Amino acid sequence: MPSRINPSILAADFANFERELGRISTADLVHVDIMDNHFVPNLTFGLTMVERLQQVSPLPLDVHLMIDDPDRWAPGYAEAGAYSVTFHAEAAADAVGLARTLRSIGARAGIALKPGTPVEPYLELLPEFDQVLVMTVEPGFGGQSFMASTMPKLTALRDAVRGSGLDVWLQVDGGINEETIVTAAEAGADTFVAGSSVFNAAEPATQIALLRAAADAHLGAH
Ligand code: DX5
Ligand code: ZN
């Protein structure tokens, strides 16, 4: 299975989202970072923006909720038509119940882990999720450096998914570029969020192709 490249519009021109979406049309999904100034010390936008992006985006939306109380707010993003809705394990009161709600609405359900959050408690819950997002930076800001210390979590996830028959995507987010994507792919990731490396490139399509080729060459190498 080939890798998925999901550019994060956190690194796009906030005054021109529709035009920016046109620059990444060769990507797989568009990653949409929702921050509430409580779960993380930064604020982006919310449901109204996602509803509008859903109308104009040629790519499916991969919504990453960095917010408190996702149990209350996440279903609205699924109802807006997001292809995947990922909430943080550290913020959810009932992660399994919320994932079931998201799936019942028709979205893929994702659970995200901050760098300091262990993966072990979630390994046996994998049938409840369609995606696990291993944060490779502290959530909140683009342009940070990739933390290789998070890679053992991907290896554990890949070992658990392999042979299980489950279709769980393993996503990394933060500091992904043409070098770090190799490390993440070798560790077991198959879905890669890249913000600054795509949108700061002169030709985002060229960078997307470069990232995809680097990942595909190293998928599951370990
Ligand atoms: C960080 C966000 C990321 C961010 C990644 O909290 O979740 O999606 O956009 O940006 P880069 O690729 O620049 O690290
Ligand atoms: Zn993100």
Q: What is the 3-state secondary structure (H, E, C) of the chain?
A: CCCEEEEEHHHCCCCCHHHHHHHCCCCCCEEEEEEECCCCCCECCCHHHHHHHHHHCCCCEEEEEECCCHHHHHHHHHHCCCCEEEEECCCCCCHHHHHHHHHHHCCEEEEEECCCCCCHHHHCCHHHCCEEEEECCCCCCCCCCCCHHHHHHHHHHHHHHCCCCCCCEEEEECCCCCCHHHHHHHHCCCEEEECHHHHCCCCHHHHHHHHHHHHHCCCCCC
Q: Which atom of ligand 1 is nearest to the CA of 198?
A: 12
Q: 220: pLDDT confidence band, cut at 50, 70 and 90?
A: confident
Q: For 4-216, CATH number?
A: 3.20.20.70
Query: Which residue, judged by its Cα, is nearest atom 12 of ligand 1?
Result: 195
- CA of 32 relative to ligand 2 center, distance in Å: 7
Residue listed under structure tokens 């992904």: 176
Q: Which residues pair with 194 in a beta bridge?
A: 7
Report the C-alpha gap between 101 and 54 in whole angstroms: 20
Give, for ligand 1, the residue of 64, 144, 181, 197 to mutate: max count of ligand atoms closer than 8 Å to Cβ: 144
Residue 141, token pair as written in the block: 């800001």
pLDDT of residue 29: 98
Q: Which ligand is nearest to the CA of 145?
A: 1
Q: 222: pLDDT confidence band, cut at 50, 70 and 90?
A: low
pLDDT of residue 78: 98
Mean pLDDT of all residues in the chain?
A: 97
Q: Which ligand is nearest to the CA of 136?
A: 1
- CA of 205 relative to ligand 1 center, distance in Å: 18
- CA of 33 relative to ligand 2 center, distance in Å: 5
Which residues are placed with Cβ below 5 angstroms of ligand 2, an ion?
33, 64, 173
User: Residue 142 phi/psi, 5° resolution?
Assistant: -80, 170
Query: Which residue, judged by its Cα, is nearest atom 4 of ligand 1?
Result: 142
% of the chain exceeding 90 in pLDDT: 97
pLDDT digits (tens, 9 = 90+) for 13-32: 999 999 999 999 999 999 99
- CA of 195 relative to ligand 1 center, distance in Å: 5
Q: Which ligand is nearest to the CA of 11?
A: 1
pLDDT of residue 221: 65
Count other C-beta atoms under 10 Å from residue 203's C-beta. Answer: 11
Ligand 1 interacting residues, C-beta cut-off 6 A: 8, 10-11, 31, 33, 64, 137, 139-144, 173-176, 193-197
Query: Which residue, judged by its Cα, is nearest atom 10 of ligand 1?
Result: 142
pLDDT of residue 219: 85
pLDDT digits (tens, 9 = 90+) for 56-104: 999 999 999 999 999 999 999 999 999 999 999 999 999 999 999 999 9
% of the chain exceeding 70 in pLDDT: 99
